[in-house]
Structure 1
Amino acid sequence: MTAELNPTQASTWTDEEIATVRATLVLSIARLKAEIELVSGGLARSVSESTLEVLHDDLDVASHRSELLQDAVQAENAVAILEQTEHVLDRLDHGLYGTCERCSGWIARPRLEAFPRATLCISCA
């Protein structure tokens, strides 16, 4: 599906540029899904391993819990970025890429180039 940008943006993005943005978003989604699977698999292995091994002291327990927490936070962040990226891809497919979700104004091209997942203009962000 080809994205149709609003008239004020039509002259700022070529079809090739939109295709590049779309490809970048699709690649990001694949990368994020792989990261989530890797981290989630590591968490599951770590939790099951921890039930089998005996931790020798409080420092071992604290270190292990810290690692689990760090992995959980990483997975949670990756899921949030994945959801945002999928949302932006959906907006692009519906011709809304570059339109602020809050004020319906234009999101400046430099902002989109720096942060392709932006859904709010600078004023609304």
Structure 2
Amino acid sequence: MAAATENAWNATELRSIKSELAKDLIRLQKELEIAEAEMEDLVEAAGVGAGDDQADAGAKTFEREHEMSLVYNARDMVQQTERALDRIENKTYGKCEECGNFIGKARLQVFPRATLCMVCKQKEERR
């Protein structure tokens, strides 16, 4: 039997979470733009410094890889947020994509982009 906190979201709660996610999406999109611009600058600068020693070349490579990681993470967060907003629109927000059970409000309040209930998430992590 599902706990009271496992019930579906009501309209007021969904409007609130949708508003928060929409604000978050704008912030994340700006962060992505900045990360992509910084990555472009690093790629352009990669050709400069042809006479760098190994340490300088290694440091530049590490910095580029770090920026690429930031870009990938920012893109992932934008996509997860867009997906959560789509799930609200499609009236599937709060339901596990794997088993169809409710994800749980407490979990979604901590991580509003969650698409799996705790049981399915634990199964996924064990794989």
TM-score normalized by structure 2?
A: 0.83
CA displacement at 1:19 relative to structure 2:
1.3
SS of residue matched to 2:99: coil
Root-mean-square deviation (Å): 1.5
- Which of 1, 13, 17 is residue 13 of structure 2 equivalent to? 17
**How many percent identity over aligned positions?**
30
Aligned to 1:5: none
- Which of 25, 40, 44 is residue 44 of structure 1 equivalent to? 40
CA contact 1:108–1:121 (8 Å) conserved in 2? yes
Aligned to 1:112: 108
CA contact 1:55–1:61 (8 Å) conserved in 2? no
Aligned to 1:75: 71
Listed one character per residue, the Cα deviations across residues 19-52 of structure 1 (whole Å, up to 9, x for unaligned) are 1200111112111111111111111112212323
CA displacement at 1:55 relative to structure 2:
4.8
SS of residue matched to 1:52: coil
SS of residue matched to 2:47: helix
In structure 2, relative to structure 1, the CA distance for the partners of 1:107 and 1:49 (3 Å cut) is same
The 1-side partners of 2:48 and 2:26 are apart by: 33
Q: Which of 23-32 and 85-94 deviates more? A: 23-32
Flag structure 2 segments of 5+ consecutive residues without an equivalent.
1-6, 122-127
CA contact 1:99–1:107 (8 Å) conserved in 2? yes
Q: Which of 50-59 and 79-88 deviates more? A: 50-59
CA displacement at 1:113 relative to structure 2:
0.8
